[in-house]
Amino acid sequence: MNQEYIMKKKMQRAVIFSVIVTLALIIFIALYIDETRRVQKTYREQFIANLAHTSDSVESYLDGEGDWGLKYRRILNDMSSANSFAFLLNQLSEQQKITVNELNTIILKYPEQMQERERLEALHQVLEDLQFNLDKGFQEAEELIATIDKMGH
């Protein structure tokens, strides 16, 4: 009888321990999901902010006078930051990430072509649409990318 009593106590402890471990695991998973969501929200905010900065820089370039090289480097810097955050976002598809990267690449590699007023205006519109999470922004970006002569002519 004493042996049976000891076994019952051990089983009760094992069940209680299992329940506590299960609850702790559920809490850990919930906290992990919440933190992941919070981090993704921060990444999204930074992505949008960098798109807005790029848009403002393009607008400044189009409207202003003065050091065009500096203004273009600001556009490139802001777009490069947006590109970095785009790759951290889970909500963007791989194709959308590639489109943002290609947009950054044409600004970097083809400044002579991108400094044309029509292309900068198109870039400004693309950035505005991307800020508002419009799918047409990605389509417009792909159209803009297609207008670039990759051979550099």
Residue 41 lies in a domain: no
Residue 62 lies in a domain: yes
pLDDT tens per residue, range 32-58: 999 999 999 999 999 999 999 999 999
pLDDT tens per residue, range 73-84: 999 999 999 999
- Threshold 0.85, pTM exceeds: no
Residue 39 lies in a domain: no
CA separation for the pair 43, 36 (Å, rounded): 10
**Total domain count for the chain?**
1
**pLDDT given at position 109:** 92
| pLDDT at 60 > cutoff 80 | yes
Range of the structural domain that residue 127 is part of = 46-146
The CA distances from residue 41 to 2, 37, 52, 59, in Å, are 59, 6, 16, 27
| pLDDT at 153 > cutoff 80 | no
pLDDT tens per residue, range 99-151: 999 999 999 999 899 888 899 999 999 999 999 888 899 999 999 999 998 87
